[in-house]
């Protein structure tokens, strides 16, 4: 019996607070999404479809993951993922919210096993607390909790049955069990896990952090890597330079095969260096015409994704730009924000600063710009 995982990741997660959508934020040294995808890989699920928001299509994901653009609602996103799988349908499919990063391979296996006997199966937790109804800030009644469950994911289905159910379903649904039951499918309940929480509010990140860190075996000597990078580009004709992803007006441009972003190149090489993976030239040869004029964000994102796939979280990056002109200070905050966006880090983990060479050397003579960078990588114990 073949099984595919359909991971729903197209939401914006506004209740989780300001910043990146919750699935792309850091959690216990990795992104929320990385923990979720690693759990399915550890459970032996090799075919994974991730349904993404249209603005997130370029976000780095582990090799082999299929990307699909989601819809305006959760059920529309699930339908898009199912239709993508329909070209080569699996026997069963597991539908999971990417914001449940504490899901375990054992829970995934229980759902898969239940599908051998059932058309559909989903994890649930019996409600143990008393339930009230309320009105105007006061308790107005009680509700019998017998037979009530807290629904979780992954929810598993025979593929043909859930695809037909979604195709015939009109209107929105809270989850895929609701869609299945509307189509007349019987859904078995398997034992859920209390730690399989869905991150919804800022406080949920703290609980998930405790769960994930508590489940790891800590070693006496953690694998921490440092890398450094250095780059230089000469000035050429032009009216602006691109530094750390930000265009800065200037009397000259910078000469290079790509966009000559000297700061981003130095940071990229620092990450490659920490991985002992060479430099930009190894991965993006200047002899290859496809990289002519390329945005250096491509190189930086590639290095960051290599680190994640090897099980490393980026602890911080620090970049120093060396030039007399243009002045960096007015643009440093914007550079910090752009680097943080590409690296998927909190801006507090990204440093951009500048210095002059006291009019000494080529930078002092105004012939070009140099950059130095350092990156720290911390192994999380899980590779993808």
**346 pLDDT above the threshold of 60:** yes
Of the pLDDT bands very low, low, confident and very high (cuts 50, 70, 90), residue 270 is very high
**380 pLDDT above the threshold of 80:** no
Mean pLDDT computed over 125-150: 93
Asked whether 241 and 252 are in contact (CB, 8 A), the reply is yes
Q: What is the model's pLDDT at position 33?
A: 94
More confident residue, 313 or 331: 331
**384 pLDDT above the threshold of 80:** no
**149 pLDDT above the threshold of 70:** yes
Q: What is the model's pLDDT at position 29?
A: 79
Does the domain at 224-379 match CATH 3.30.1330.50? Answer given as yes
Mean pLDDT computed over 314-343: 95
**SS3 call for 10:** coil
Structural fold of domain 3-214 = Spore Coat Polysaccharide Biosynthesis Protein SpsA; Chain A (3.90.550)
Element containing residue 163 per DSSP (H, E): helix 159-168
Asked whether 150 and 122 are in contact (CB, 8 A), the reply is no
Helix axes 332-343, 297-309, angle to 10 degrees: 40
DSSP state of 286: T
% of the chain residues with pLDDT over 70: 97
Q: What is the model's pLDDT at position 217?
A: 38
Question: From start to end of the chain, where are the E strands?
Answer: 3-9, 26-27, 30-31, 47-52, 66-69, 92-97, 120-126, 131-135, 138-143, 149-151, 155-158, 187-191, 224-236, 240-243, 246-249, 253-254, 312-322, 350-355, 368-379
Mean pLDDT computed over 166-182: 93
**220 pLDDT above the threshold of 70:** no
Asked whether 233 and 330 are in contact (CB, 8 A), the reply is no
> By mean pLDDT, which of 12-26, 255-269, 286-300, 323-337 is the weakest?
12-26
- Using CA atoms of 190, 194, 199, 204 in order, give the dihedral in degrees to the nearest 10: 170
Q: What is the model's pLDDT at position 215?
A: 54
**382 pLDDT above the threshold of 60:** no
Structure tokens at 137: 């800030």
pTM to 2 decimal places: 0.64
> Which phi and psi (to 5°) does residue 279 adopt?
-140, -175
Structure tokens at 201: 């509010």
> By mean pLDDT, which of 77-86, 162-171, 375-384 is the weakest?
375-384
61-106 pLDDT, tens digit each: 888 899 999 999 999 999 999 999 999 999 999 999 999 999 999 9
Domain boundaries, the chain: 3-214, 224-379
288-298 pLDDT, tens digit each: 888 888 999 99
Burial code (b: 16+ CB inside 10 Å, e: under 16) for 299-325 equals bbbbbbbbbbbbbbbbbbbbbbbbbee
Burial code (b: 16+ CB inside 10 Å, e: under 16) for 148-165 equals eeebbbbbbbbbebbbeb
Of the pLDDT bands very low, low, confident and very high (cuts 50, 70, 90), residue 218 is very low
């Amino acid at each position: 019996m073949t099984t595919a995982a359909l991971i729903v990741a197209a939401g914006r997660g506004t209740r989780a607070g300001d910043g990146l959508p919750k699935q792309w934020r850091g959690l216990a040294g990795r992104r929320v999404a990385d923990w979720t995808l690693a759990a399915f890989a550890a459970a032996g699920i090799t075919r994974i479809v991730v349904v993404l928001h249209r603005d997130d299509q370029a976000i780095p994901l582990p090799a082999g993951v299929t990307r699909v653009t989601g819809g305006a609602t959760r059920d529309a996103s699930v339908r898009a993922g199912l239709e993508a799988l329909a070209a080569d349908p699996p026997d069963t499919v597991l539908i999971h919210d990417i914001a449940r990063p504490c899901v375990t391979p054992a829970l995934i296996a229980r759902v898969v096993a239940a599908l051998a006997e059932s058309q559909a199966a989903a994890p649930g937790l019996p409600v143990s607390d008393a339930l009230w109804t309320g009105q105007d800030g006061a308790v107005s009644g009680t509700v019998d909790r017998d037979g009530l469950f807290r629904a979780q994911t992954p929810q598993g289905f025979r593929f043909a049955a859930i695809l037909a159910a979604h195709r015939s379903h009109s209107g929105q649904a809270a989850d895929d069990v609701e869609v299945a039951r509307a189509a007349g499918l019987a859904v078995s309940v398997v034992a859920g896990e209390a730690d399989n929480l869905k991150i919804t509010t800022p406080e949920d990140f703290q609980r998930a952090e405790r769960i994930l860190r508590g489940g790891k075996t800590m070693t006496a000597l953690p694998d921490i890597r440092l890398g450094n990078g250095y780059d230089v580009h000469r000035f050429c004709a032009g009216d602006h330079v691109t530094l750390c992803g930000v265009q800065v007006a200037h009397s000259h441009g910078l000469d290079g095969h790509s966009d000559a972003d000297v700061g981003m190149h130095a940071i990229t090489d620092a990450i490659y260096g920490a991985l002992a993976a060479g430099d930009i030239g190894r991965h993006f040869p200047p002899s290859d015409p496809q990289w002519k004029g390329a945005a250096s964000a491509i190189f930086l994102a590639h290095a960051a994704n290599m680190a994640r796939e090897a099980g490393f979280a980026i602890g911080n990056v620090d970049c120093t730009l060396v030039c007399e002109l243009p002045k960096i200070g007015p643009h440093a905050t914007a550079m910090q924000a752009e680097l943080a966006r590409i690296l998927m880090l909190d801006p507090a983990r990204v440093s951009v600063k500048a210095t002059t060479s006291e009019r000494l050397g080529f930078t002092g003579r105004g012939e070009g710009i140099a950059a130095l960078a350092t990156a720290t990588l911390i192994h999380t114990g899980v590779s993808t």
